[in-house]
Structure 1
Amino acid sequence: MHILFIGYGKTSRHIAKQLFEQGHQISTISRSAKTDAFATHHIQDVQQLDLSGFAPIDWVYILVSPDQSTVDAYQHTYLDSVRPIVKALEFHPVKHLVVVSSTRVYGENRGEWVDDDSVIRPNDLQGEILLQMEQAYLAAYPDRCTIIRPSGIYGSSVARLQKMAQSMTTYPNLHWSNRIHIEDLSYFLAEMIHVEQLESSYIVTNNQPQPLHEVLQWFQQQMGLSVLKVESEKVTGKKLYATRMEKIGFELKHQDCFRGYLELMQ
């Protein structure tokens, strides 16, 4: 198959390499030059996307991301790009479209359990924009589109968490969150082409929600720092459970995020 990646960052690279090794032809669209020999790279602005000169495209992965987390950046990157992408793909025999979104579309923020069948109710404008993007792609490709909602992706760097551990002596409350290793996320996305009947969406996470302060305390212990204290028992965040991922029998290679963090620190 000829597989196109719209947006080519770390996750896309992991997926593309696996698919190339399976014998697929890989093309990519990004804003800057790429050099991986296993793909043909094109520099384009997705808002002006032109795929007229491309060989017939069979499968598409969309992994775009904004430079900032502002509402305007989300609107421009996620939602305003839908129409030009759909139009550019119009004359290609696309069998399936995979769109990477975010668990931000789930607005729960009191430690609730959330799974693939939970009602989607964003609690901020960025989450609402992501949901509108999902709905637009699903409308354009009914029965041929799958939305992926990963939790916090780790496995490339621990610099941000180390910086937080160094600077924080207290944490305001109990904040629940989940994680997914970049290799597990990439492997799941690559394996989707072998799944006969895909669902319209999947949460992709480790099914092991943890309070964020415990993660920071672990880093502080590894770094020989004083351990922070939690200021209140107020609960925020959400506990994610990937029911559909589990249903198809997908198994994570990285169950323990602390082992992954330790490898990166070493």
Structure 2
Amino acid sequence: MHKSSIKRVKRKIVNERMETKMFETEVICTDKATGKQLFKTKNKMVIGGALFVLQKMFNVNTSINVPTLNTLLGINITPPAFSSPGLQRDNIIQLFCVGIDGSGDTFGSVVAVDYKSKGIDPDKMIPFRYSDPDTSIPSEYTMTKLVNGKKAYYGKSLVNTPTIQSYFKDGTPVTSDVSSSSKQEEIETYIELRFDINKNDCREYFDAEKGGIKNCRINTVGFYFGIPVEVDNRIEYAFAKCFSKINFNNEALDDDVKELDFTYRIFIR
């Protein structure tokens, strides 16, 4: 087939994609103390996430080289040797990061997530913890580097092991014999995971570098996949890349008590 014909075919495939997406998402943020829902939104898979899914599904490689979080932040972690096609089994969504490139300063100035994005802008990424090097920090914090004499922890583990759930639209759980069910309602199948921002997160950095916790806020969350590597009795990640990103209006963390709970669901149809 002539190159121009191939190009037309590819353009036709792109233009005639089904409007119904394979993945739909739901992100719910609540105040941990009151249980009040602060906002509900969706996230957007970026190109690194799309490549990740396809590589995992078919155990193949791609020549498209998306920058790693390690490269962007200058965190050099040596992964274990791996020479097979596709991605390593334990290269999965492991952590999340937060930042302030998701919105302007005014309410309603949320920036649309760019599919081409490499994730959170490294210059706008906020470390969860920012402490003296000899301070003991819980094991859920990761992606560590020295910044201005402090240890900055840019990643944080998920709260729970993600769980797969499947329900008929009327709320009836799907069971193993679903193929013989007489129910006619649609089925929703999704994976649910939780993550949180506690009263220690992000404040130390704003207090030290950004004029105090009165300025502390976040307006974006990025999910990252990577390969766990033990470094100095702590799990760090090699080849970490952004899977998806959520931008939202500024959520203030301007006191030492506010905590956020997030529930993130990925529906597949």
What TM-score, normalized to structure 2? 0.22
Whose helix fraction is larger, Structure 1's or Structure 2's? Answer: 1
Whose strand fraction is larger, Structure 1's or Structure 2's? Answer: 2
What TM-score, normalized to structure 1? 0.22
Higher relative contact order, chain-length normalized (CA < 8 Å, sep 6+) = 2
Which protein has the larger Cα radius of gyration, Structure 1 or Structure 2?
2
